[in-house]
Amino acid sequence: MKTSGKALAEKVKQIKESDMLSIRSESLPTWCPGCGYFGIQQGLNNAIQQLGLSHHKIVNVTGIGCAGRYAFFNDAYGLHVVHGRLLPVATGVKMANPELTVFAVGGDGDGLAIGAGHLPHMVRRNVNVNYMLFDNSTFGLTKGQISPTSPIGTVSKASPSGNVDTPLNATLMALSYGATFVARLYAGDPKHNTAIIKEGIKHEGFSIFHFYSSCVTFDKVYKTWNNLKDNVHPLPPTYDHANLKHAIDHVLEDDFSMGIIYKND
């Protein structure tokens, strides 16, 4: 169904007036309709609003890629930096002014390919930055090439015979490097994510939020909404997120449990 100009204008007006979206900027997101990033943004906005964070004390440092556009869509300070370098820049921002709440926002291509070498150092320095890793296993902005998290066999226009490389597991990497707050979250569940994001923001140290998301435009086979929805599930009730060994063993066995995987205050 086609939306008329009048109906669209009314919708935009409603969005702008909505309390829940108060941190959204005047620029509406340019992500494809149905992109998982909308759900991630909603959870993050809810958390910011519920914590009562002042917009002028928030800095979003974003990388290159569709996720990197995030800085434009929020009413806060933003730095759109070069490919893969969001973590060192976010570190600098936080060191220069510890009063700020700093988010580093980027995709799996940005953070786990060209930028992957920064993650262990970010973890060992444990600077109080919140890393939002949007993982849809696709280089979306450059039209759907495989990424470091693409499953084996993933076919794209640039790899017609299928991916032959073992995918990286960002949650496991963060745990093995010694991260003190690790959450794995599903983009389609902003309500559940809000409480966890709030906890991560309050954590005094580096927090990583590994979001499983869908690229509806370029991936019709692997991380589709249906595939994710049918597989994600909460952590078991007996799960102990204060036990690192338990967390690592769990992540090795279960790729789709969502929640706070590890937290060490």
The footprint of ligand SF4 (CB under 6 A) covers: 31-32, 35, 37, 66, 136, 140, 215-218
Q: Which is nearer to ligand SF4, 32 or 248 (CB)?
A: 32
AA letter at 21:
L
Q: Which is nearer to ligand SF4, 141 or 248 (CB)?
A: 141
Q: Which is nearer to ligand SF4, 91 or 214 (CB)?
A: 214
Instruction: Provide the minimum distance between the beta carbon of 104 and ligand SF4 in the complex, in angstroms, as a whole number.
Output: 18
Distance between CA atoms of residues 81 and 104, nearest Å: 10
Q: Which of 229, 233, 235 is nearest to 250 (CA)?
A: 235
Q: Which is nearer to ligand SF4, 189 or 219 (CB)?
A: 219
| DSSP line for 233-255 | EEPPTT--TT-HHHHHHHHHH-S
| Radius of gyration for the alpha carbons in the chain, expressed in angstroms and rounded | 18
Instruction: Provide the minimum distance between the beta carbon of 112 and ligand SF4 in the complex, in angstroms, as a whole number.
Output: 15
DSSP-based three-state secondary structure for 206: coil
The dihedrals phi and psi of 260, each to the nearest 5 degrees, come to -80, 110
Q: Where are the beta strands (DSSP E) in 98-180?
A: 101-107, 130-135, 138-139, 145-146
Instruction: Provide the minimum distance between the beta carbon of 105 and ligand SF4 in the complex, in angstroms, as a whole number.
Output: 13
Question: What are the residues facing 132 on neighbouring strands?
Answer: 105, 209
Instruction: Provide the minimum distance between the beta carbon of 66 and ligand SF4 in the complex, in angstroms, as a whole number.
Output: 3
Instruction: Provide the minimum distance between the beta carbon of 210 and ligand SF4 in the complex, in angstroms, as a whole number.
Output: 16
Q: Which is nearer to ligand SF4, 115 or 140 (CB)?
A: 140
Return the structure tokens found at 139. Answer: 């280089």
Return the structure tokens found at 187. Answer: 């983009």
Look up residue 173 and give its DSSP letter: H
Instruction: Provide the minimum distance between the beta carbon of 228 and ligand SF4 in the complex, in angstroms, as a whole number.
Output: 13
Q: Which is nearer to ligand SF4, 181 or 211 (CB)?
A: 211
Look up residue 113 and give its DSSP letter: I
Beta strand pairing call for 181-186 and 257-263: antiparallel
Instruction: Provide the minimum distance between the beta carbon of 195 and ligand SF4 in the complex, in angstroms, as a whole number.
Output: 25
Q: Which is nearer to ligand SF4, 37 or 181 (CB)?
A: 37
What b/e readout covers 60-90, taking b as 16+ CB neighbours within 10 angstroms? bbbbbbbbbbbbbbbbbbbbbbeebbbbbbb
